[in-house]
Amino acid sequence: MLLEVRDLHVEFRTRDGIAKAVNGVSYGVDAGRTLAVLGESGSGKSVTAQTVMGILDVPPGRITGGEVLFEGRDLLKLKEEERRTVRGAEMAMIFQDALSSLNPVLTVGDQLAEMFTVHRGMSRRDARARAVELMDRVRIPGARERVKQYPHQFSGGMRQRIMIAMAMALEPKLIIADEPTTALDVTVQAQVMDLLADLQREYDMGLILITHDLGVVADVADEIAVMYAGRIVETAPVHEIYKAPAHPYTRGLLDSIPRLDQKGRELYAIKGLPPSLTAIPPGCAFHPRCPLARDVCRTDEPPLYQVGDTRGSACHFWRECLHD
Ligand code: SF4
Ligand code: MG
195: three-class secondary structure by DSSP: helix
Q: Return the residue whose CA atom lies nearest to atom 3 of ligand 1.
A: 315
Residue-level pLDDT at 297:
98
Residue among 231, 253, 284 to mutate when testing ligand 1 (max atoms within 8 A of CB): 284
152: three-class secondary structure by DSSP: helix
276: three-class secondary structure by DSSP: coil
The answer to whether the beta carbons of residues 75 and 91 sit under 8 Å apart is: no
Q: Which of 189, 202, 114 is nearest to 157 (CA)?
A: 189
The answer to whether the beta carbons of residues 108 and 149 sit under 8 Å apart is: yes
As a whole number of angstroms, the distance between CA 52 and CA 36 comes to: 15
289: three-class secondary structure by DSSP: helix
CB distance 302 to ligand 1 below 6 Å: yes
CB distance 316 to ligand 1 below 6 Å: yes
Polymer length in residues for the chain: 324
**Rounded to the nearest 5 degrees, what angle is found at the Cα of 193, between the Cα atoms of 26 and 229?**
30
Q: Which residues surround ligand 2, an ion (CB under 5 A)?
A: 46
CB distance 246 to ligand 1 below 6 Å: no
Helices (H), 5-123: 45-53, 80-89, 98-101, 108-120
- Reading the chain (324 residues) residue by residue, the pLDDT tens digits are 999 999 999 999 988 899 999 999 999 999 999 999 999 888 999 999 999 999 887 668 899 999 999 999 999 999 989 998 898 789 999 988 877 889 999 999 999 999 999 989 999 999 999 999 999 999 999 999 999 999 999 999 999 999 999 999 999 999 999 998 888 888 888 888 999 999 999 999 999 999 988 888 888 899 999 999 999 999 999 999 989 999 999 999 888 776 655 555 555 678 888 999 999 999 999 999 999 999 999 999 999 999 999 999 999 999 999 987
As a whole number of angstroms, the distance between CA 11 and CA 205 comes to: 30
Q: Which of 292, 316, 294, 286 is nearest to 304 (CA)?
A: 316
Domain residue limits, the chain: 3-90+173-323, 99-171
Q: Return the residue whose CA atom lies nearest to atom 6 of ligand 1.
A: 315
Q: Return the residue whose CA atom lies nearest to atom 7 of ligand 1.
A: 287
Tell me the whole-structure pTM to 2 decimals.
0.93
- Mean pLDDT, all residues of the chain: 92
So what's the ipTM on this one?
Answer: 0.95
**CATH class held by domain 3-90+173-323:** alpha beta
pLDDT 10s digits, 262-288 = 555 555 678 888 999 999 999 999 999
CB distance 289 to ligand 1 below 6 Å: no
CB distance 206 to ligand 1 below 6 Å: no
